[in-house]
Amino acid sequence: MRGAGYYSERTAGARNVINEAGKMVVAALSDLPESRELKFADYGAADGGTSQQMWNTVIRNLREAGDMRQIEMIYTDLASNDFSTLFRMM
């Protein structure tokens, strides 16, 4: 996989769809049972650029609503993924 944000630069359509799905994520969070922490997973994360805005929005909404639970974020992709760019972006 090419690095330095190559994937995110070429997948604006995917980013738009993911950002719109953020509304569903926020709504679904209100239906979760009580817990001490939240765990989110981003499967096929690539360099993180396509989902970064959505996750920022979801977490900001939680914090603004007073939810201060610990959040664990799991990013996964193929072994050939550019994880160094992903970690720098996050």
Please give the distance of CA 26 from its chain centroid, rounded to a whole number: 12
In tens, the pLDDT along 53-74 reads 999 999 999 999 999 999 999 9
Quote the CA–CA distance of 26 and 6 in Å, as a whole number.
Answer: 28
- Contact (Cβ atoms closer than 8 angstroms) between residue 81 and residue 1: yes
Percent of the chain with pLDDT strictly greater than 90: 51
In tens, the pLDDT along 12-68 reads 788 888 889 999 999 999 888 889 999 999 998 888 888 999 999 999 999 999 999
